[in-house]
Amino acid sequence: MTMISPGSTDSAARVRGKARSTSLTRLTDCLHCPIRPTSLCSVLDRDDLAAFESLGQNATFAPRSVLFMEGALANAIYNVTAGLARLFRLLPDGRRQIVGFALPGDFLGVPRDSVYSFSADAAVPTAACRFPRQSFVAFANERPHVLRRLADSAERALGLAHEQMMLLGPRRAEAKVAAFILGIRERWAGLHGASMHVPLPMSRQDISDYLGLSIATVSRTLHRLADEKLILIVPKGVRILDPQRLERTAEA
Amino acid sequence: MTMISPGSTDSAARVRGKARSTSLTRLTDCLHCPIRPTSLCSVLDRDDLAAFESLGQNATFAPRSVLFMEGALANAIYNVTAGLARLFRLLPDGRRQIVGFALPGDFLGVPRDSVYSFSADAAVPTAACRFPRQSFVAFANERPHVLRRLADSAERALGLAHEQMMLLGPRRAEAKVAAFILGIRERWAGLHGASMHVPLPMSRQDISDYLGLSIATVSRTLHRLADEKLILIVPKGVRILDPQRLERTAEA
DNA sequence: CGTGTTCTTGAAGCCGTTCAATGAAAGTGG
DNA sequence: CCACTTTCATTGAACGGCTTCAAGAACACG
């Protein structure tokens, strides 16, 4: 698990090292974001869309730069449009648990109370639409179908969280890693269509913090799967060679 | 981890053994349920409340009887009013991961799609208000504040899921068990007020399936905490003797 | 082309699991 | 109400998988 500076009051920028952010441009590609089943855009009519557009700003984030920090005042909501965001919480001793990855189309930071309950930063160059919380909430409150979408989106996130819990539990490293690959593949499929090639833009460290394993075990396990010809390890990803056996490994 | 019959198509009733349910009475105590911050009731005015009341039926569940099963058609939504429900998913090999406990006031089974994504059964004698999904959704769609509550409720569940992920990860058994006790205490506090006495109505098996430990380790760890005078083990619960050291153990 | 980071791979050790047997409690039927 | 039965919890001993520590290789960046 990642060891992060033990002092706990410091900001993510310092904690995770040099966070060289970020350009802010006017939003347009928010609307060009991949439309997923849970996407907000798909339930907005033309007028709403125009109003919605005027709320947000498009922002880009360099790797490791922070979208928001656990415990900070939640004054914005994000919709990832490109790249990959890591959602994580820090333990008091500085270790990091990744509680999810946000792919394009995912909403972030819709908070019950006014404080973020986890942190988010960019795993790779990432773009996201940023909506001021106040106006976003006001916008949603006027539109029941948007509220429904938000509830749906939260339920979807909950389902993903449950899926991850199944991985974090007492399962063998092989099963965790195999299931991880298949899970990520599934999620990319919603964007790019299904493929044997599974991009893994995140680092080994990220994967291990996601699965509750050490970085060494993740590396070893990937290579064991490769030795057994279930996958092929390629730069920034894997190629699935034997879907069925991989599936069976994931379930064990 | 619990081993459950390997065949996977069978119903929960068979899987979990004799499920002797249940009386069904007309609802009244739905309204007397403990009002929690996330409770729906608290945002309903008198008229809405009456309409709401007419939607639901109060049901009681004997221990081990099933509220609903993962994969089944989601034709009802539940609001637990007394007792304790276990929310879980089964692995293909029959092991069980408990993804949450539902306490009085918690909503269950608000599904994105029409199928439950996890199973729920009663850990102890339990009461819940049962709302047909159709009419519940129709009711909510007419009332934006109810929709907001549902979104909030989902977010709250997501927060709890994240909390549990921190426990499932690579932490020592002592930390997991200590954090579990403190977490449950926190949740009871919202109902009964804070107390040094923490009821643990669920079985050791339930706790181990929740924490991703074996039943033996849970037992050993509890007794180790007791040996070190952090807690006192009492029937169906524990008493916290040294909150600060327990807290420190939970964070390690 | 050199430097820092990430990834791989080996060896030793620990923590939790598994298996199994004992003990306690709760439910059941006479 | 008691004796029986069944489930649940505790505890011991041995095994095994993952972690830790550490060194070397591959990669990315300026």
Q: What is the pLDDT of residue B4?
A: 56
The C-alpha atoms of residue A20 and residue B106 are separated, in whole angstroms, by: 42
Q: Does B215 touch chain A (CB under 8 A)?
A: no
Q: Is A110 left (phi over 0), alpha (psi -120 to 50) or beta?
A: beta
The C-alpha atoms of residue B155 and residue B149 are separated, in whole angstroms, by: 10
- pLDDT higher for A10 or B238? B238
* Chain A positions in Cβ-Cβ contact with residue B166 (cut-off 8 Å): 89, 91, 97
pLDDT higher than threshold 70 for residue B22: no
Strand C: residues with CB below 7 A: A 170, 203-205, 215-216, 218-220, 222-223, 233; B 1, 172-174, 212-214, 216-217, 220, 235
Q: What is the pLDDT of residue A42?
A: 59
The strand order across the sheet containing B126-132 reads: B24-26, B57-61, B126-132, B76-82, B107-108
Q: What is the pLDDT of residue A52?
A: 80
Q: Does B115 touch chain A (CB under 8 A)?
A: no
Closest nucleotide over all strands to A217 (CA to C1'): D18
**Mean pLDDT of all residues in chain A?**
84
Weakest mean pLDDT among A119-133, A135-149, A155-169: A135-149
Q: Does A156 touch chain B (CB under 8 A)?
A: yes
The C-alpha atoms of residue A218 and residue B191 are separated, in whole angstroms, by: 42
Q: Is A109 left (phi over 0), alpha (psi -120 to 50) or beta?
A: left
The C-alpha atoms of residue B53 and residue B74 are separated, in whole angstroms, by: 20
Mutation target to probe the A interface, by most A beta carbons within 10 A, among B113, B162, B246 is B162
**Alpha-carbon Rg for chain B in angstroms:** 19
Q: Given pLDDT bands bounded at 50, 70 and 90, which one contains residue A109?
A: confident
For B213-224, the pLDDT digits (tens) are: 999 999 999 999
The strand order across the sheet containing B231-234 reads: B197-199, B237-240, B231-234
Percentage of chain B modeled with pLDDT above 70:
81
Q: Which nucleotides of D are covered by protein (CB under 7 A)?
A: 8-13, 17-22, 27-28
Q: What is the pLDDT of residue A3?
A: 57
The C-alpha atoms of residue B174 and residue B75 are separated, in whole angstroms, by: 40
Å separating the CA of residue B164 from the C1' of nucleotide D28 = 37
Q: Given pLDDT bands bounded at 50, 70 and 90, which one contains residue A1?
A: low
pTM value? 0.87
pLDDT higher than threshold 50 for residue B23: no
Residue B23 Cα, gap to closest chain A Cα (Å)? 30
Written as six digits, the tokens of A182 are: 């298949």
For A26-75, the pLDDT digits (tens) are: 344 454 444 444 456 556 677 777 888 788 899 999 999 999 999 999 99
Q: What is the pLDDT of residue A25?
A: 37
DSSP letter string, chain A: --B--S--SS-HHHHTS------EEESSTTTTS---TT-SGGG--HHHHHHHHTT-EEEEE-TT-EEE-TTSB--EEEEEEES-EEEEEE-TTSBEEEEEEE-TT-EE---SSSB-SSEEEESSSEEEEEEEHHHHHHHHHT-HHHHHHHHHHHHHHHHHHHHHHHHHSS--HHHHHHHHHHHHHHHHHHHH---SEEE--S-HHHHHHHHT--HHHHHHHHHHHHHTTSEEEETTEEEES-HHHHHHHHH-
Residue of B nearest to A108 (CA): B155
Q: What is the pLDDT of residue B42?
A: 59
The answer to whether the CB of B40 falls within 8 A of the CB of B149 is yes
Q: Given pLDDT bands bounded at 50, 70 and 90, which one contains residue B166?
A: very high
Q: Which of B151, B154, B165 sits opposite A168 (nearest CB)?
A: B165
Contact B170 A1 (CB under 8 A): yes
Q: Does A170 touch chain B (CB under 8 A)?
A: yes
- pLDDT higher for B145 or B38? B145
Cβ-Cβ contacts under 8 Å between A and B: the total is: 103
For B197-210, the pLDDT digits (tens) are: 999 999 999 999 99
Residue of B nearest to A88 (CA): B162
Q: Which of B89, B93, B141 sits opposite A162 (nearest CB)?
A: B89
pLDDT higher than threshold 50 for residue B5: no
Mutation target to probe the A interface, by most A beta carbons within 10 A, among B8, B108, B165 is B165
CA atoms within 13 A on the CB side of A16: 26
Written as six digits, the tokens of B39 are: 């409770």
Q: What is the pLDDT of residue B43?
A: 64
For B64-120, the pLDDT digits (tens) are: 999 999 999 999 999 999 999 999 999 988 899 999 999 998 889 876 668 999 999
CB atoms within 10 A of CB B59: 21
Mean pLDDT of A229-247: 97
Q: Which of B157, B161, B252 sits opposite A165 (nearest CB)?
A: B161
Q: Which of A148, A165, A214 sits opposite B168 (nearest CB)?
A: A165
Weakest mean pLDDT among A230-234, B36-40, B216-220: B36-40
Q: What is the pLDDT of residue A46?
A: 74
Phi and psi at residue A135, in whole multiples of 5°? -70, -30
Closest nucleotide over all strands to A3 (CA to C1'): D20
Q: What is the pLDDT of residue A16?
A: 33
Contact B99 A1 (CB under 8 A): no
